[in-house]
Amino acid sequence: MAEMTDPATTGAMRMGAMAAELIGSRVIAAEPGASGSSARSAPLESAAGPTGAGPAVRGLAGMGPSGPKVPGPGAIEPLTPQAAVHELARLQPGADAGRRGEGVGPVNRLLTGVVGAVVDDVGADREFTAGLVTELARRYLRAVRAHARGAGVPRAWQEVIDRWGAATAGPGRIALAGGLTLVGLDLAPAVVSICTLLGRTPGPAERGDVQMITGLIVHGLEAAGAPDPGAGADDAGLGPLLSHHDAWRQAEHLWALRGRPSEAELERAAMDWRAGLVARGLLAGPG
């Protein structure tokens, strides 16, 4: 006998999903009869954001070791920079309080500043840059929610989220570990995802946007009072530290591995391992 669904409930769910789409987000809904661990993801597409300021990117392919493949049912996936800022701000109080599934306070705040700066920058390459920062936010939020569900999480984000939840590292050092994870783990795969989605090859314009976003992360870390692990060295400073990750070189390498899934998976696993070591080392220090 088929299960009956209350029409009023169905209508409310549809209205909620429509409202989420209108503000540039999507709600991940479980398939009828499916368990809570499965989710329906929208197909690949690109559409104008709420103000025509960028792509409403959805349904990007699974990320393997560099990020959870599918968010859990009920999760809100931002599709535009505006929606990403809205979702991060909505979660900020819970993230500050260390509530599971709502993020890491200093990292939420850092990402809000980075994405918000792109929203405000009318001179940027809106299509690529908007998609790139939205994808960074989406990867972070997927890691946060996967951690709350006990699912697989990249090593670096596991370290950051665990240390924040246990209150064993200060906000400045947590922000630094989060910023390094964004640059060293998530930025390069995000470039490949957005270039693939938009049908463009990474080139000088995209490299300039990656450098700009790295600069915004450095600025946000400095504003947050993140400690400088290289203090006293000749090249001390967060800029040189972040540039050592060379996210652009990583993006070019991952791009060259398209069509070779086994090699690409190994490279993403190596990036995950390296980023995890960096985060663990930073969070083992004082402050």
Give the CA-trace dihedral at 155, 159, 165, 169, to 10 degrees: -170
Sign of the C-alpha dihedral, residues 138, 208, 174, 116? negative
The confidence score (pLDDT) of residue 169 equals: 84
> What is the model's pLDDT at position 148?
94
Question: Per residue of the chain (287 residues), what is the pLDDT tens digit?
Answer: 444 445 444 444 444 444 444 446 555 444 333 333 333 333 333 333 333 333 333 333 333 334 444 444 456 678 899 999 999 999 999 999 999 999 999 999 999 999 999 987 755 558 899 999 999 999 999 999 999 999 989 999 999 999 998 888 889 889 999 999 999 999 999 999 999 999 999 999 999 999 999 989 988 988 877 665 554 434 445 655 565 558 899 999 999 999 999 999 999 999 999 999 988 988 886 65
> What is the pLDDT at residue 120?
79
Helix axis angle, 155-165 relative to 171-181, nearest 10°?
160
The predicted pLDDT at position 191 comes to 96
Question: What are the extents of the domains in the chain?
Answer: 78-227+234-283
Tell me the C-alpha distance between 133 and 84, whole Å. 9
pLDDT of residue 38: 37
Please tell me whether residue 252 adopts helix, strand or coil conformation.
helix
Tokens linked to 102? 């709502």
Find all residues with CB under 8 Å of 183, minimum gap 6, and list them: 214, 217, 242, 245, 247
This prediction has a pTM of 0.74
Predicted confidence at residue 67, as pLDDT, reads 45
